[in-house]
């Protein structure tokens, strides 16, 4: 699960969730998660560049605006927006999720296919976000079409979707810091189900108001990642019967 927030006139996609933080799982991996590490470094480098150049300028220039997609311009922002973040907490929260869920998915798919899944899921999330904006009341659509969207969590949601297909019986070691810090192991299927239900609830209820949470980008990324993983599983099963 996560909680998003608006930073000024920017929608920051983040997977940080109600202080329920994944810190590990019980999957035994066979390979080093090279692509995951490179993605984390790339996101960190993009954030450092944003601070050096001017965060507002970079977000405005390279963030994704739904109007771009509808007009067929600046389509590269479908990808550049996936590496931008609105603050340190925004970046750190997303990178924790990428590290926890991405490593095992990369191990299953291989680094290159995993990288493609990351990009495709992020693009799918941006596209569904655009569709959701068009379903908003007419008085809100014009403003939402030009608000830049930044954050890796649409892409990371794709890794979460693939993870639950590949490893439904795993358990997520989760940190819950309320009155005191508690570490609990939560079955992945329950963790992800709760996360998805939260996204769906705020996505549906938020359509009538100015967006502070781009839940539909998370839902789109998750669906793309899960669909890709299901296709891989089906192809693997088909190949095993030959």
pLDDT for position 210: 78
Burial of 83 (0-12, 13-18, 19+ CB in 10 A): buried
- Of the pLDDT bands very low, low, confident and very high (cuts 50, 70, 90), residue 5 is very low
pLDDT for position 242: 60
Separation between Cα atoms, residue 221 and residue 155, nearest integer Å: 6
pLDDT per residue as tens digits for the range 27-59: 999 999 999 999 999 999 999 999 999 999 999
What total of structural domains would you count in the chain?
A: 1
Query: Considering the chain, what percentage of its residues have pLDDT values greater than 90?
Result: 80
Which residue reads 């891989």 in tokens? 232
The closest alpha carbon to 103, from 26, 194, 178, belongs to 26
pLDDT per residue as tens digits for the range 79-127: 999 999 999 999 999 999 999 999 999 999 999 999 999 999 999 999 9
- Is pLDDT of 158 > 90? yes
Q: Which pTM was predicted?
A: 0.91
Query: Using alpha carbons only, what angle is made at residue 68 by residues 63 and 72, rounded to the nearest 5 degrees?
Result: 140
Under a CB-based contact definition with an 8 Å cutoff, are residues 59 and 49 in contact?
Answer: no
Separation of CA 125 from chain center:
8
Domain that holds residue 150: 5-240
Task: Read off the pLDDT of each residue in 153-166 and give the average, rounded to a whole number.
Answer: 97
CATH assignment at residue 120:
1.20.1540.10
Separation between Cα atoms, residue 190 and residue 207, nearest integer Å: 26
CA 192, 148, 209, 91 dihedral sign is: positive
In sequence order, what are the residues at sequence separation of 6 or more whose Cβ sits closer than 8 angstroms to the Cβ of residue 216? 125, 128, 129, 131, 132, 203
Task: Read off the pLDDT of each residue in 195-221 and give the average, rounded to a whole number.
Answer: 89
pLDDT per residue as tens digits for the range 125-140: 999 999 999 999 999 9
């Amino acid at each position: 699960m996560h909680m998003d927030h608006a930073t000024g006139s920017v929608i920051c996609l983040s997977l940080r969730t109600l202080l329920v933080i994944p810190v590990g799982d019980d999957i035994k991996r066979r390979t080093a998660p090279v692509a995951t590490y490179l993605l984390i470094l790339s996101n960190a480098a993009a954030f450092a560049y944003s601070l050096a150049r001017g965060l507002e300028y970079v977000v405005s220039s390279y963030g994704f605006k739904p109007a771009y997609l509808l007009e067929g311009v600046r389509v590269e922002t479908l990808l550049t927006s996936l590496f931008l973040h609105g603050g340190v907490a925004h970046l750190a929260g997303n990178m924790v999720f990428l590290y926890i869920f991405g490593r095992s998915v990369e191990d299953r798919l291989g680094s290159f296919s995993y990288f493609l899944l990351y990009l495709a899921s992020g693009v799918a999330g941006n596209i569904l976000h655009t569709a959701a904006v068009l379903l908003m009341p007419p008085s809100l659509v014009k403003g939402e079409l030009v608000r830049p969207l930044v954050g890796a969590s649409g892409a990371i949601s794709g890794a979460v979707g693939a993870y639950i297909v590949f490893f439904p019986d795993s358990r997520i070691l989760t940190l819950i810091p309320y009155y005191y810090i508690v570490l609990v192991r939560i079955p992945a299927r329950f963790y992800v189900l709760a996360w998805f239900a939260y996204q769906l609830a705020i996505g549906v209820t938020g359509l009538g108001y100015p967006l502070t949470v781009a839940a539909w980008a998370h839902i789109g990324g998750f669906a793309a990642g899960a669909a890709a993983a299901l296709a891989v599983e089906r192809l693997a099963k088909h190949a095993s019967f030959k």
